[in-house]
Amino acid sequence: MLTSLTRWIDSRKRERALRRHAIPDALWAQTLANLPFLTWLGDADRERLREMSSLFLAQKQFSTAHDLELTDEICVAVAAQAALPVLNLGLDLYRGWVGVVVYPGEFVIRKTVEDEDGVVHEVVQDASGEAWEGGPVLLSWEDVQMGTGDGAYNVVIHEFAHKIDMLAGEADGRPPLFKRLHSDLTPREWEDTFDNAYDRFCRRVDSISDRRWQQFADTSLIDPYAADHPSEFFAVCSEALFVTPQAFEAEYPELYRLLARYYRQDPAGVLPPAPSAA
């Protein structure tokens, strides 16, 4: 009886959130038009993405910085791209924090980092996005608008992949596996496939001479920045999975299959149907 009552209450909350944060038809159509990489989604999945975007808007608090006006266009664009990775996993993967802060363009962040000798340094750098463990996601609106699918770049998907990675603590490129969702994916399989792909990519980046570096950076599907840390490799590859899936599957087939099974989505349409999560 208590379980039925809880489900009824949750259902009423969901319905209320969908009504209060309903996305107008014209705005949703414009959002989809600005994100052409979403065309692989069928009608039913697009409708689920729209509902999940509304629920995301109900759960998170948006704010802006540096006099950027907070508009419905900004909120819905971020919500749609944030909801995409968890479309078949659930918004519960974004639990434990509420803030989304949008800047007009790149912003300055300050970090303390420890080098190989154990010396702690204060680092100041420009950023287009940042995800804080237990805290907000920071985004550059200029960079959000660049993630249209022309290349494997999407700052929203990147930062929210970090949020998923952080569910088990500090981001390390090993997002948590959930029994209900990932019964066909073992930690050992993740480590074997992901770690091998990361090591190969790092060796490839290390082998590039200074003279050829810019050419490599301009032509590589995966940004060389991904070699900085396994967490960055996971986030950058998550971008590629959703934004340029055919190219990603063609160049990194094993890694594509791993991430597609993790997210329970197959944008390139090359995998057999996923097992039921029921």
Express each pLDDT in 203-221 by its tens digit.
Answer: 999 998 888 878 888 889 9
Residue 151 lies in a domain: no
- Mean pLDDT for the chain? 91
The pLDDT of 221-225, averaged and rounded, is: 93
Residues spanned by the domain of 248:
175-278
Residue 265 lies in a domain: yes
Residue 44 lies in a domain: no
Residue 1 lies in a domain: no
Structure tokens at 121: 């340094």
Residue 277 lies in a domain: yes
Task: Give this prediction's pTM.
Answer: 0.91
Question: Considering the chain, what percentage of its residues have pLDDT values greater than 90?
Answer: 76
pLDDT of residue 117: 67
Rounded Cα gap, residues 23 and 57, in angstroms = 10
Residue 213 lies in a domain: yes
Query: H helices of 60-211, where?
Result: 72-83, 141-146, 155-165, 187-190, 196-206
Q: Which amino acid is at 196?
A: N
Q: How many distinct structural domains can be found in the chain?
A: 1
Rounded Cα gap, residues 174 and 171, in angstroms = 7
* 275: Cβ contacts below 8 Å, ≥ 6 apart: 183, 184
The pLDDT of 224-233, averaged and rounded, is: 96
Residue 251 lies in a domain: yes
Residue 241 lies in a domain: yes
